[in-house]
Chain A
Amino acid sequence: MHYTTALSFALPLSLGIAAFGSAFGLGRAVSAAMDSMGRQPEAAAKIQVGMIIGCALIEALTIYALVTVFVLQGKIG
């Protein structure tokens, strides 16, 4: 199998796996944060900051995967 064929199979698969992992992580993080805010409304501001930074970091991983796919896409003829 030529490497471009392998790349054309692997790139969408890897992006899908990255998106799935990111969505799963975001869902868990936001769910846990909402749960914590419901239990302790007085600590909502602190929990919000942690949640926002966590969401940004999780999103960034998917964006890195997307950029990598874009870069490698150029190698497929």
Chain B
Amino acid sequence: MGLEFITRVIKTSAIVSLIQLPFVAIYFDYRYGLGILLGCLWGVVNLHFLRSVVVCYTNLSGRSKRQLMLLLLLKFPLLYLVGYLLLKWSLFPVLSLVVGFTLIFAVILLKALGRLLLSLDEFKTEGSIFDRKGSGGAS
């Protein structure tokens, strides 16, 4: 589970938020659908910038101060200003924005659970309850 996990989470969240848009718009209210979409896009952009900042900062070989400053400037003032304006203008219901923002965490949880249950990676450490060969769960 490397950084591609976060890329997949970002892609999946964006796709899920796009899929829900017509259904929520038709069966409930288009403003709720758009609010969920915008909340999810905000969360996706937030996670993307967070990953970029961490990778740029911990990349010791090619650390660029200018790139790091640009990322920090984009993430902290601009992204939070957009979130503030989304809440302040009240074009979309606050609940829909919160649901959209939470969607990305639901995707992270479900993806991690899926990997855990399908035994896809290193969640099984030796001696843990998920380790069938070890002594952890079989005693």
Contacts and interface: CB of A to CB of B under 8 A. Distances in A.
Interface of A: 34, 37, 44-46, 48-49, 51-53, 55-57, 59-60, 63-64, 67, 70-71
Interface string B43-63: 100110011001100100000
Given A52-B47, A70-B88, A71-B94, 10 more contacts: A46-B1, A48-B58, A49-B1, A52-B6, A52-B50, A53-B108, A55-B54, A59-B46, A60-B101, A63-B83
16 contacts: A44-B58, A48-B3, A52-B6, A52-B47, A52-B51, A52-B54, A55-B50, A55-B54, A56-B47, A56-B50, A56-B105, A56-B108, A57-B105, A63-B83, A70-B87, A70-B94
Contacts of B88: 70
Contacts of A60: 43, 101-102, 105
A44 to B, nearest CB: 7
Contacts of B54: 48, 51-52, 55
A45 B50 contact: no
Nearest to B83: A63
Interface of B: 1-3, 5-6, 43, 46-47, 50-51, 54-55, 58, 83, 87-88, 94, 97-98, 101-102, 104-105, 108, 122
B94 to A, nearest CB: 6
Given A67-B87, A67-B94, A49 B5 contact: yes
A55 B3 CA distance: 14
Given A52-B50, A56-B46, A56-B47, A67 B3 contact: no
Given A37-B58, A64-B98, A49 B108 contact: no
Contacts of A53: 6, 108
A49 B105 contact: no
A34 B6 CA distance: 19
